[in-house]
Amino acid sequence: MKRLLAASFTLAVCQNALAFVPAPPAIDGTSYVLMDYASGDILASKDPQARVAPASITKVMTVYIAFDLMKKGQLHADDPVLISERAWRTGLDSSASRMFVKVGSQVPVAELLKGIVIQSGNDAAIALAQHIAGSERAFAELMNQYAVKLGMAHTHFDNATGLPDPDHYTTAHDLAILARALIHDFPERYKLFAEKDYTYNQIHQLNRNQLLFEDPSVDGIKTGFTDAAGYCLMASALRSDRRLISVVMGTKSEKYRASANESLLNYGFRFFETDRLLGAGSPALQARVYKGAVENVAVGTQEPVYLGIARGSRDQLKLVPQLQSTLVAPISAGQRVGEATITLDGKPVKQVPLEALQAVPQGGLWRRMVDQIRLWLED
């Protein structure tokens, strides 16, 4: 799994900039997070680290694991999955979230994934978990391993469905991290989350994410509801090549969870923008190299660094690079040589490690001798 380059960037920083950003919408729910996808920066939040029950949003992790195993060649779309009595009975006990698979039948992985994502089928989730790990308990342990790798520091999974349990919990911020990883790591497979309906066993069901039907920019992700969790929704929207993620937990109705997410997404697109800095073609500086075959090396980052900032505050961004020490060849490409502080309106908002963007081998004998004398004189 690729670890994304990200650092939290709070709304307060944006509000301190010269650009005006009004207060975020008042959301009547337990907690919420609005995240800029490219940077991972938090644009707005309410109690983002509050422990909450994830309900069926849990199934996003179930699907993430399946996608990852498919990417690794350890699971295949056409693999048949035997439907156990437990999976079938769980479906019977939760008719509101059911794919209607039959006990003893064999269902391909691809169909179960549709049943989980579109129909939120508890029966499908348990069947897939049992197929992958042997039991749902073992699968929950796998879920927790993935949570650690993704940086979901305040999450613990007890099952693959989201059915209530005291040891099954997360936070709005951790769920935003999961959503970002899902979209980043599996961009093609993520398209499944935009499907509006699915028919299985001659039973047609609609996706419970109302925003898919109301906002053409929304392409996912997952709803959830239990009495303990309330009505929850993890959503994502793409407008003009810019993506935002919203997670709203613990609201009072299906209609309100949709309108709350829509309000947050509109707020983020209206008052914030995503800025791109650095990257292989935009070095932070050309640094002097002693005893090298060349005198200078480009220093920066191989991948772009993104920031979610208040719209109109781009002119207040400043990059302040600093080398760790004098650079002396040989230097390898990718070698860490310093760090850069990014400031907004004079206030630091992110620090980024800097590396040499090209290798610099040692120069000839004469170059090394001359530069050694220069180093002595500078000291």
Distance CA(329)–CA(261), nearest Å, equals: 53
Catalytic residue list contains 59: yes
Across 187-332, the runs of DSSP E, i.e. the strands, are: 197-200, 203-206, 218-226, 230-239, 242-251, 272-277, 285-290, 296-300, 305-310, 317-323, 327-328
Catalytic residue list contains 8: no
Active-site residue, selected from the candidate residues 31, 45, 120, 263: 120
DSSP symbol at 62: H
Cα-based angle 315, 317, 323 (whole degrees, multiple of 5): 140
Give yes or no for a contact between 297 and 286, defined as CB atoms under 8 angstroms apart: yes
Q: Which residue(s) pair with 306 in the sheet?
A: 276
Give yes or no for a contact between 54 and 224, defined as CB atoms under 8 angstroms apart: yes
Q: How far apart are the first and last CA of the chain?
A: 45
Residue 358 burial (C-beta neighbours within 10 Å; 0-12, 13-18, 19+): middle
Catalytic residue list contains 56: yes
Strand-pair category, 285-290 with 327-328? parallel
Active-site residue, selected from the candidate residues 31, 39, 45, 56: 56
Active-site residue, selected from the candidate residues 46, 59, 114, 222: 59
Catalytic sites, residue numbers: 56, 59, 120
